[in-house]
Homo-oligomer: A and B are copies of this chain.
């Protein structure tokens, strides 16, 4: 569902943002469709929060325009942009009760009392925080606080939600629970959401489209499946997926009309590759995810280094053609160190990269 197909809800055009001499974002453009869930993903310091703050109007942009719902809001105050925002540190007002936190902005906007009550009741119901309304933030657990922070955006009845790493202060279990809740919330409300994270699991589970950023530049903007299976370049490939994709250096060989990937004496047939296989002799990097490597008695020979059990399955670290490679195997097996195994590769899910341009071929 590409953005152009639907009405554009948020549109960033040629955005440039500089802190003094340091340009953090340069000529960045991004179109987000109505009701779309966009995740901005990238390593720390790549400019995700900066971009989000520009959209919110919390940072004055250096150049470019920002449109929300067909209106140029470049010069408007945050409160007039029709956005709600949820912060990593929750940013709840500690001395007010939950109800106070939710009501404060509304009261300030001069809404009638009854209307405020209705909205709070609705948000509290959606988020299941009715029993907490009279508590202060200090008396809430991390997850509850996060829900209140979302509630504060919710009551504002806005079209665009902005989330800046809303879950990264929480522990793994809570994180996965709230992830589901946010997903549900989106399915229920169908607002446009822009969600910043550096956790790829969040990105993959939540996003309609993911924008992978590095150094202020969007590296790839696509739906999770495409990002996962056909990463645009080495950076995206390595960044997405946990355990990470393995990269093998080698070159293309041709034998009997079929293309092979050759490295350190081992060869992998490339038929079924989703993309253009380069001519023989070309140096390439083969990227393959652990779960697309099957481990058995037969296949390309490799040696087991470490068997890391991970509950439902194990992660094997192997030596293959002199290079290190990881593979996922069902937990039952249990491999010993130094054990010889055979590998099978699902080439339709693998990627070939140009070592110089680092782009996918």
Determine if A79 is an interface residue (Cβ-Cβ < 8 Å): no
Q: Does A338 contact B (CB under 8 A)?
A: no
Tell me, rounded to whole Å, the shortest Cβ–Cβ distance linking A256 to chain B: 30
Please tell me which stretch of A3-11, A87-95, A122-130, A238-246 contacts chain B, meaning at least 4 of its Cβ atoms lie within 8 angstroms of it: A238-246
**What string of 1s and 0s marks CB contacts (under 8 Å) between A176-188 and chain B?**
1001100110010
A224 at the interface (CB under 8 A from B): yes
Since A173-B242, A176-B243 are in contact, a sample of 16 more A-B pairs with Cβ atoms closer than 8 Å, ordered by chain A residue number, is A43-B171, A44-B171, A172-B201, A172-B242, A173-B239, A200-B311, A201-B310, A204-B309, A204-B311, A205-B308, A205-B309, A224-B309, A240-B311, A242-B311, A291-B312, A312-B328
3 closest Cβ contacts across the A-B interface? Answer: A291-B312, A205-B308, A204-B311
Select one of B172, B241, B311 contacting A311, CB under 8 A.
B241
A291 to chain B, nearest CB (A): 4
Is A121 an interface residue, CB under 8 A from the partner? no
Question: Which residues of B sit under 8 angstroms from A179, Cβ to Cβ?
Answer: 308
Copies of this chain, complex-wide, total 2
A7 to chain B, nearest CB (A): 23
Chain B residues, CB < 8 A from A43: 171, 173
Q: Is A135 an interface residue (CB 8 A)?
A: no
Given A200-B172, A225-B331, is A308 in contact with B183 using a C-beta cutoff of 8 Å? yes
Asked if A198 CB lies within 8 Å of chain B CBs, one says yes
In the complex, A228 has a CB within 8 A of chain B: yes
Q: Which of B180, B243, B311 contacts A317 (CB 8 A)?
A: B180
Alpha-carbon gap, A36 to B244, bound state (A): 28
Bound CA–CA A331/B292 (angstroms)? 12
Query: In whole angstroms, what is the CA distance A331 to B173 when docked?
Result: 22
Contact string against B for A residues 160-201, beta-carbon threshold 8 Å, 1 for contact and 0 otherwise: 000000000001110010011001100100000000001111
